[in-house]
Amino acid sequence: MALRVGLISDTHGVLHPAVARVFARVDHILHTGDIGSAAVLAELTRLAPVTAISGNADGPPLSRLPRARCVELGGIRILLVHHGFVHARPTAELAAGLRRYRPTVAVFGHSHVAFVTRRLGILLVNPGGGGRRRFRLPRSVAVLTIGVRDVRARVTVLDTRAAVRREMPAAPAPRTAGPDRGCRGRRTPSRRASSRARGGG
């Protein structure tokens, strides 16, 4: 049976009223920062368990959340960072997370511009802004569907009566053991081990 994960970002203290309808049947919710208020997380928790990171606009206590993290849901690794791209280039935090965790999916926000694409076999998702309107951009969220053979993301625009959806499948995902937990990154050799490998003392 497929696992459905709600993806949301950049609420800035306000949750669009249509979010509850779109996330009505999700199994988990991921928020990629600029939450704006603990009340937003409390409201989302009524719909499903929530995993969140902080964004650049989050103050205490939300700023104490991790700025990036990797979780395992449905047997795949999902990387969360707040700021994913600058001028079509990955940010340092996204690039570092991709190298460390090698996820199947990376989710981010910050720009309030929703899109779904794939690079080098990794599904990249920006769900857009799901709360306070910014820059006259349409507000949106996304739903990630983790199936047996593939992973798909669908963006739903919240500001239109007939919601516009954009969908792109990921490549078949390698399954990893242990659902619903944090990811283990690649180990970095200790200085002593590195020294021994070079023939040092």
Q: Tens of pLDDT along 153-188?
A: 999 999 865 444 444 444 444 443 334 467 876 654
pLDDT at 177: 33
pLDDT of residue 187: 54
> Tell me, what's the pLDDT at 200?
44
Give the chain's domains with CATH numbers: 3-197 (3.60.21.10)
Residue 149 exposed, middle or buried by CB count within 10 Å (0-12, 13-18, 19+): exposed
Q: Identify the helix (H) or strand (E) that includes residue 39.
A: helix 38-45
Tell me which residues of the chain have a pLDDT lower than 70: 160-181, 185-201
- Please say whether the beta carbons of 51 and 28 come within 8 A: yes
Per-residue pLDDT, 42 = 97
Residue 193 pLDDT? 45
Write the pLDDT tens digit of every residue in 85-94. 888 889 999 9
Q: How far apart are CA 153 and CA 186, in angstroms?
A: 26
181: helix, coil or strand?
strand
Q: Which of 1, 16, 2 is nearest to 156 (CA)?
A: 16
This prediction's pTM: 0.82
